[in-house]
Structure 1
Amino acid sequence: MTKEKAGLKARPTTRKSSAEKAAVNELNNRHDLAHVPLEQRIGAVIKRRRLESNLTLSDLSTGAGLSSAMLSRIENGMATASLDALERLCAAVGIGLSDLFKETETKQGSAQLVKRTEQMEVVRVGTKFGHTYRLLSYDRGPRKLFEPFFIEMDKKSETYPRFAHPGTEFIYMLQGRMEYRFGEHTYLIEPGDAFTFSGEVVHGPEKLLDDRIKFLAIIFYGE
């Protein structure tokens, strides 16, 4: 995506101030990223991309629909941006979301640690029914191989959506009991139970048997 398509035009190239040069050099020359929190690595990439595009905080915040104060906090690793905000920031500087996460990877292998405070709450079909979805890992390349979620539900929601998607889904129940619909069948899932099924068959919670339930759901998309 070019900057013109994203709706932001880079300012005419001018000589960067010494402070801007120092900031770009500092961001380009970080080595020990394994111990740098994810939000700081994300903020560093956003800031570097903004400076390389000769955009001010005001330019980028306006283009991404954020306040300048919030953008400054994100760039300095003092705030965790939602996936929606990150997508808008990436579009404004002309990169894809997968490119952003690829640039935050460490050079020490393929491991990825996402601390509890770094896990992003994402919007899914069940969000409007009061269900909470927390994404436990982020895309590390152009192809999405899997998505792991921590999901919470309670009996306040009397409506449970149905899902159908490519790939295989795995559920591990952590707390509470629920009846889960898979096609024409219903399964009782209790704490410690594991349930694996084809995502292409219509599925979803049928009934909560306890006030609150928590479980892990991992969708594998394959190669």
Structure 2
Amino acid sequence: MKLKKIIGKKLKAIRLGRDLTIQELANGSGVSSNMISRVERGLTIPSVEILMKLARVFNKSVDYFVEEVKTTHEVVFSSSGQRDATVYEDSSNMITESFTSGLRDPQFSSFYCTVPVGGLSGESNMYHPGDELIYLLEGRLKVTVVDEVYELTPGDSLSFKSHLPHSWENIGTVDAKVIWTVSPFTVI
């Protein structure tokens, strides 16, 4: 199933399951009712930022909306190239492979991310509950937390409270390879 359809189907199901109208969800999330309608109908893939806003309303992770997990387990082993992957068709054009997909009730989410040259988190800052860890394997990544700018090179890591406004951008000449971990299990 295409990512647009997966996200749309899950968003509509959880919205109706919580007995919310599209307008009520728009008011609670800060996402326009038009965008919510387009997402639910499978007409567009929302940006990471929009997906995070919607996920917050339902106390779910972004993973909830993008993965087709049929079963959950207490132990999950994943081989390189065999992980559930998601392609974000927004300003980030990021590809994520989940390390925690299929894990029952995780308290964190962790991903192997490929951020193409010029990929960025969006036009505005992100913020969400919890903690975040970024570990850069390859490339260069500029991360701004509040007004502080950090330029990560291979081997660098950055941890911060995710409620602080933050953004990121691949400022290198090659794809950035990143291990991204967020706790509690809320976003990526």
Give the TM-score band, short-chain normalised: 0.5 to 0.7
- Equivalent residues, number: 132
Show the 5 A alignment for 1:137-216.
137=96, 139=98, 141=100, 142-152=108-118, 167-171=135-139, 197-200=154-157, 214-216=173-175
Q: Which residue of 2 aligns with 1:58?
A: 23
Show the 5 A alignment for 1:1-223.
36-101=1-66, 104-105=67-68, 107=70, 110-112=82-84, 114=86, 118-122=88-92, 134-137=93-96, 139=98, 141=100, 142-152=108-118, 167-171=135-139, 197-200=154-157, 214-220=173-179
TM-score (norm: length of structure 1): 0.48
TM-score (norm: length of structure 2): 0.55
Specify the code of the residue in structure 2 equivalent to 1:198: G
Structure with higher helix content: 1
Using the TM superposition, give the Cα deviation of residue 219 of structure 1 relative to its aligned residue in structure 2, in angstroms: 1.4
> Larger relative contact order (C-alpha < 8 A, sep ≥ 6)?
2
Q: CA RMSD in A?
A: 3.7
- Over 4 Å off, 4+ runs: 106-111
Cα pair distance change 1:48/1:140, threshold 3 Å: farther
Gaps of 5+ in 2: 72-77, 101-107, 120-132, 141-150, 159-168, 182-188
Greater Cα radius of gyration, structure 1 or 2: 1
Using the TM superposition, give the Cα deviation of residue 100 of structure 1 relative to its aligned residue in structure 2, in angstroms: 3.1
Using the TM superposition, give the Cα deviation of residue 82 of structure 1 relative to its aligned residue in structure 2, in angstroms: 1.0
Deviation sequence 1:136-162 (CA, Å, 0-9, x none): 125463331422100139xxxxxxxxx
Provide the secondary structure at the position in 2 that maps to 1:167: strand
Gaps of 5+ in 1: 1-35, 123-133, 154-164, 173-181, 184-195, 207-212
Cα pair distance change 1:216/1:70, threshold 3 Å: same
